[in-house]
Each structure stands twice: as structure tokens, then as C-alpha cells.
Amino acid sequence: MSAFGFELLGTDGAARRGRVTTAHGVIDTPAFMPVGTAATVKGMTVEAVEATGAQIILGNTYHLMLRPGAERIARLGGLHDFMNWRKPILTDSGGYQVMSLSDLRKIDEDGVTFRSHLDGARHALTPERAVEIQHLLDADISMVLDECTPFPASEEAAAESMRRSMRWAARCRAAFDPRPGYGLFGIVQGGVYPALRRESAAALTEIGFEGYAVGGLAVGEGQEIMFRVLEDTVPALPQDRPRYLMGVGKPDDIVGAVTRGIDMFDCVLPTRSGRTGQAFTRQGTLNMRNARHKEDTGPVDPECPCPTCAKHTRAYIHHLFRADEMLGPILLTRHNLHYYQALMAGLRAAIEEGSLDDFAAAFDADHAHPTP
């Protein structure tokens, strides 16, 4: 087990090519983390996830603390053993899902109390308990408990929310048991207000974390504002630590965020879209339920080397979705995750070659094509 670390291998403008080292292995950045909410990337075996090239997945503390429970997962050897995923895992703190999924939530200085959306049982999540749960889960990367400031929020409300999150971040840091290969990331908040974002980044840097996340984005503000906030925030973060943009995003969001210096991403989009029939391709998105695919013998994405595209036609995928067959979501989730990992591999190669501008321009041109 090696120390938790981040190595900056190269840069291209603001973009960075790096490598995160954790207890369960390395993560080449820029990296995309598939979401494995309830100890499974929905519809994917762990072998299939690994075959996409993913080097890290994300688990959701909120779901796992409710079912099967953090103490149970700890007794079963931690989340890696439980789901038999041997590579790194990042867990969120649970705060975001508490606010979006649970009932009767109440937030105060101590933390948040809520009722489970599953059975109505009462639970509390404090900064200390959020860190403890993530320790029980054996997450390589834990996240501080924070409040994801809603959008829109007044500057006053955003400031108040952010400053409480910073006090929680300090409590999380104090509660975190330092172990080689394990890290705790702080989360920058502050809404769309540059001064608040810089204040938050400075507060977190003062506390000191193994990595820094940008939170509170992709909540309805739109890509232009999101990119502007990144331009305000990223320069205020330490150069020698990984930077993680939470919950983002669409492929063009990721390309734009990488050019602005982000190293890590997670999003439900490739998996959720895979279940509803939306395919990501190198020529834009496709709705596989659309009747125009019904006798199309071409693959979902002619340029994709994934097993779904190598072995199956659009006509077949279309049929599977029309017939509500599980194999449709299975095959399309697999393709979408391959697409996302191929995008990250392309971004990493472009940064290494110093050709990220060309990559981004070609990406924009491809995705401006009408869908075939």
C-alpha cells in the first residue's frame, strides 16, 4: 500500500495530465468515474466495468448507509470486497442525496437529520459520521460533508451556506483517520459568486486536503456559467493536488472542464442514458428507441471498438429497447461507458501531445454534425 499521492505528468495550457495513487491502485487523469450508487454500476458486471478502462468508480454514501448499511459493509470486508471491485473507489459524503432524495430533512450547524426514502427511518449525518461511514466503506477517496448550495441562491445565502460547509470541512479533516493510500477531498462551494468561490478555495487550502472538488455546479446554471465559475475557482486551488468537478457531465462539459484544469469527473449520464436508450457516439447522441433504427444494420457508433458496437446492430439494440428487454440497457450502458472512457483516453493523449486545442476543436466539429 503506497501513500496517497498526485503526480503531475504534464500540462497543455490549463489542462493537466496526472496520476493519482491510492491504496487500491492508480488513476490516470483526466479521469471519469462511473457511478456505482448501491455497490453496483447499474447493469454492469465488475469485469465489464473494468473492460471499459475505468480505473475508479464512485459509491453513494447515502444509499449505502441506508442499505445494506455501512457497518454491515465493514463486517463484509469493505466496499471493494463486498462488490468485488479491486480498483480505487471514491465515495461522496451523502449530503447531496440527503437533500435531493430523503424526506423531512433538517439542516443545522451540527449536520443534517432526515428520514430514509426507503423506510422512513430517522438518520443523522454529521461531518464526523460522514467521515466514519466512508471509513467503514473503505473508500480510497472520501469527501467532506457539505451543503450543495441550490441554484439560484442570493450571494448572502450562498455565503452562509458555503461558510458552514467550510466549518464542516474542518471537522471532517479532524475526524479523518489518516492512513497510507487514503485521502480526503475538500469541496469548494460559493454558488456563482467569484469572491465566495475564492474564499472557499482559500479556506480549504488552509485546512489542507489530498484533493479539491468543485461542488454546487451542474445544478441548472448552464454550461457558460459553469465554465466561468471554473475559470474563477481552479486557479485558486493548489497545483499539486487533484481537482474533481462533481456530478459533471455531458461530453462537451468534460472537454471544456479539462481545458480549464479539472482532473476528475463523475456523472450518472452514461449509465442512466444507457438504461433509457440514449447512446453517446462520436457523431452526437442517438435515441435508440427511434423508429429510424429499426432496420439499421450498422453499429451504434461506427468508430467505437467496444463489444456492443463490435457485435450488435442498431436494429437489434432498437428491438431490445422496444421490447423492454434487460439486454438493451446492459449493452447500451456498456457502450456509453466505453465512449466516456475513450473520451478521457483521447483527452489524456491530447494533453501529452500538447494538442488539446486541436482535440477540442475536432470534438466540437464532430458533435456539431447532424446525428446519422
Please report, as ranges, the residues that interact with a second copy according to CB under 8 A.
38-40, 42-47, 63, 67-68, 72, 75-77, 82-84, 294-295, 297, 307, 311-313, 315-316, 319-320, 322-323, 325-327, 329-331
For residues 245 and 259, is the Cβ–Cβ distance under 8 A? no
CB of 136 to a second copy, least distance (A): 14
Rank residues 309 and 356 by Cβ distance to a second copy and give the closer one. 309
Query: Catalytic annotation on 92?
Result: yes
CB of 74 to a second copy, least distance (A): 11
Rank residues 22 and 271 by Cβ distance to a second copy and give the closer one. 271
Helix axes 269-276, 327-353, angle to 10 degrees: 150
Q: Which of 92, 138, 140, 232 is catalytic?
A: 92
Q: Which of 12, 263, 266, 301 is catalytic?
A: 266
Give dist(CA 21, CA 346) in Å, integer.
Answer: 21
CB of 282 to a second copy, least distance (A): 22
Give the CA angle between residues 310, 284, 321 to the nearest 5°: 60
Q: What is the DSSP letter of 35?
A: B
CB of 246 to a second copy, least distance (A): 23
Give dist(CA 75, CA 66) in Å, integer.
Answer: 15
Rank residues 37 and 355 by Cβ distance to a second copy and give the closer one. 37
CB of 42 to a second copy, least distance (A): 6
The answer to whether the bond into 68 is cis (omega within 30° of 0) is yes
Query: Catalytic annotation on 253?
Result: no
Burial classification of residue 250, based on how many CB atoms lie within 10 Å of its CB (0-12 exposed, 13-18 middle, 19 or more buried): middle
Of 48, 97, 52, 59, the C-alpha closest to 81 is 59
Rank residues 45 and 371 by Cβ distance to a second copy and give the closer one. 45
Which residues form the catalytic set? Answer: 92, 266
